[in-house]
């Protein structure tokens, strides 16, 4: 399990005076479920990109366990992300023309790590997320079903961390609730750390901890119990 430690992180883009993200210190313990909130432009996406190793870190340290992403090359970050992070996105990013099963296995196959065990796990995961037809092409599915496929894909390599970016925002209320339930339960079952950016208030309330970003800085950091109180 991987705890997250961020120290003196600053992310700037050329042409912008103020950094889009500046975090002096942040700790997220392994296995915790954290909600990330904030208005658009608050730096949520940048934060997720940084901690998932999608973006290069120029200033500060981002430690997952003992490994500092800032020290990694791009290729090394790709490999590390593939092995440790399960990503779920608002727009699913499934590949049309491929079946649900093939979509789940695609990243593993492209990394040449797909073996019989992983294929078996993909079948199991499809059942876990409540899908019955592994050969169904994704473009024929409902949006709720697509997000389930995306979740199964994120879980394939048993990542220690699940990062979800507005996973329910493009779904109707009912499927959104179901997807929220699913994410929480699979993260709990696997003991994974779950970091979830969302506007969905009801989903936020079900997580342990809530981080609020404003203009690239952490504006609030509260425990769920405190919110409830």
Q: How far is the CB of 173 from another protein (least distance, A)?
A: 26
Give the span between the Cα atoms of 56 and 76, in whole angstroms. 11
In this chain, which of 8, 27, 41, 93 binds another protein, going by CB under 8 A? Answer: 93
**Contacting residue, 41, 97, 130, 191, with another protein by CB under 8 A:** 97
Candidate residues 20, 26, 63, 98; the one interacting with another protein per rule CB under 8 A: 98
Closest CA to 131 of 119, 118, 144: 144
Residue 162 makes contact with another protein by CB under 8 A = no
Q: How far is the CB of 202 from another protein (least distance, A)?
A: 26
How far is CA 128 from its chain centroid? 18
H or E element in which residue 184 lies: helix 173-190
In degrees and rounded to multiples of 5, residue 78 shows phi and psi of -60, -45
Nearer to another protein, 95 or 140 (CB): 95
Give phi and psi for 36, each to the nearest 5.
-115, 120
Nearer to another protein, 81 or 209 (CB): 81
Q: List the one residue from 33, 121, 153, 209 that touches another protein (CB under 8 A).
A: 153
Q: Which residues pair with 10 in a beta bridge?
A: 22, 59
C-alpha 48 chain-centroid distance: 8
What's the rounded Cα separation, in Å, for the pair 59 and 70? 8
Rounded Cα–Cα distance for residues 34 and 111 (Å): 29
Is residue 102 a contact residue for another protein (CB under 8 A)?
A: yes
Which of 21, 34, 38, 55 is in the footprint of another protein by CB under 8 A?
Answer: 55
CB of 157 to another protein, least distance (A): 8
Q: Does 15 bind another protein (CB under 8 A)?
A: no
Does residue 67 contact residue 80 with C-beta atoms inside 8 Å?
A: yes
Give residues in contact with another protein (CB under 8 A).
45, 49, 52, 54-56, 74-75, 78-79, 81-83, 87, 89, 91, 93, 95-98, 102, 106-111, 153, 157
């Amino acid at each position: 399990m991987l705890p997250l430690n961020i120290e003196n992180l600053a992310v700037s883009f050329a042409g912008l005076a103020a950094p889009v993200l500046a975090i002096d210190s942040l700790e997220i313990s392994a296995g915790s479920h954290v909600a990330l909130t904030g208005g658009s432009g608050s730096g949520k996406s940048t934060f997720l990109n940084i901690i998932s190793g999608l973006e290069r870190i120029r200033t500060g340290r981002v430690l997952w366990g003992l490994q500092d992403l800032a020290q990694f090359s791009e290729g090394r970050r790709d490999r590390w992300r593939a092995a440790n992070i399960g990503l779920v996105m608002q727009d699913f990013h499934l590949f049309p023309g491929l079946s649900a099963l093939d979509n789940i296995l695609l990243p593993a196959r492209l990394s040449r790590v797909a073996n019989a065990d992983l294929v078996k796990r993909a079948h199991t995961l499809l059942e876990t997320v409540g899908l019955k037809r592994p050969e169904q092409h994704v473009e024929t599915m409902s949006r709720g079903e697509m997000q389930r496929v995306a979740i199964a894909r994120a879980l394939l390599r048993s990542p220690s961390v699940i990062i979800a970016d507005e996973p329910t925002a493009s779904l109707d209320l009912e499927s959104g609730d179901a997807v929220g339930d699913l994410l929480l339960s699979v993260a709990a079952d696997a003991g994974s750390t779950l970091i979830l950016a969302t506007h969905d208030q009801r989903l936020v309330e079900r997580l342990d901890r809530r981080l609020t970003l404003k203009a690239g800085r952490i504006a609030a950091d509260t425990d769920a119990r405190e919110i409830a109180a």
